[in-house]
Structure formats: C-alpha cells, structure tokens
Amino acid sequence: MATAPRRTRSDALRNRARLLEVAAQAFAEDGLDTAPAAIAQRAGVGVGTLYRHFPTREALVEAAYQHQLARVCETVAELVARHPAAEATRRWVAHFLDYAAAKSGMSAALDAVVASGADPFADSLTLLTGAVGTLLDAGARDGTLRTDLTPDLVLLLMGGIAYSVRHGTPAQAGRLVDLLMDTLTKDVAARPAGSDGEADLP
C-alpha cells in the first residue's frame, strides 16, 4: 500500500525561512566570504541542516536572494487588503527600496552565483511585474491610481529611484518617492468616473 508523501513540518519551514533571512543579511554585510557555519549558528540551526538544503554557498546566495524578493512581492496582497491602492503602493515602494538596498549589498555574492552558471534573476521580472500589476489593478478599481500606466513602465521608474537612493540621502529618497506617487496619481481626481484616461473620439 502506497504511503502519502511526508509533509514538511512547520518548524522546518520556519527554520529554512530564518536561515535564508540571516544568510541574506550576512551576504549583504560580508559578501561571499561569510562562513556557512557562522550563518547556521546565527540562524539557530545545525550546519548539517544548512548543507542538506544548500550544498554550496552559491546555492545559498541564490535561495536567499529569491526568498527576499518573494517576501517583498507577497506583501502586496496584504497592503491592498488594508489600504487604498495609492497608499498601498507608497508603502510597497518602501519595501521595494529596502529589498533593492539588500540586493545591492549582495551584488558581489550574486555575481559569483552568475559566474557559476546559475541565474538567480530568472523569475525576478515576473514576480515584480505581477506585484505592480496587482497594485495598478487595485488602483483602477478604487480610483486612486492612473489607469494609463503599465507595470513595466512603473518598474523602470522604481528602478531609477533605487539606483539613485544608493548615491543619495534618505531625504532625497523620500522626495523621489513623492515624485513617483505624483506620477501615479496625477489627474486621477479630475478624470471622469469610468474614464480610461484617453480622450473621447468625436
């Protein structure tokens, strides 16, 4: 008689998530030279557990980066459920900028992953486009965001802000986010209900 596959225990899932959180922080701070044993100790798991899931440092870097990105994108649903779309977008952009800063800190480690032949960014665009699309769809429903912008265009704007933030000050970053939100909400109040932002044809 066949037996059902054993489910992953909830504590094992928590340990894995904790391990990836610690790894992302460690690689951002210390690069690829961070000892896996030190990461395991900080995460409160055995080094054998780490190597069982991630046999190489490159595998751990890739998983840590993808975990961080997935967490950022997963916050969209909760934000949309709790706030008007424009406010949800502002809050999510703040999460995105934190993620971008962490990614910048991990750049050397991620370069090593790419050099090994892996592609840690394979699903990044799909996840981010989906997250922004969810925000724009919510904004179209509640009327707080423009309806003539596409997720890829918004992501280009956000990418520019993320790049600038690394070379600017927190005050400048806040101002850039304000400008982004002005772009996403411009003329919303003046647009007639049901309008898609295009001029009426004669």
Q: Which tens digit of pLDDT belongs to each residue from 99-122?
A: 888 788 788 888 888 888 888 888
DSSP annotation of 189:
T
Q: How far is CA 40 from CA 21, 30, 103, 160, in A?
A: 11, 15, 21, 35
Task: Report the domain count for the chain.
Answer: 1
40 lies in some domain: no
202 lies in some domain: no
Count of CB atoms within 10 A of residue 129's CB?
16
pTM: 0.80
The domain containing residue 135 runs over which residues? Answer: 57-185
196 lies in some domain: no
- Would you state the pLDDT for residue 8? 57
Residue 76, domain CATH: 1.10.357.10
150 lies in some domain: yes
- Would you state the pLDDT for residue 196? 44
79 lies in some domain: yes
pLDDT(199) > 90? no
50 lies in some domain: no
94 lies in some domain: yes
- Would you state the pLDDT for residue 189? 56
Quick: pLDDT tens for 55-108: 988 899 999 999 999 999 999 999 999 999 999 999 999 989 888 887 887 888
72 lies in some domain: yes
Quote the tokens at residue 190.
């003046």
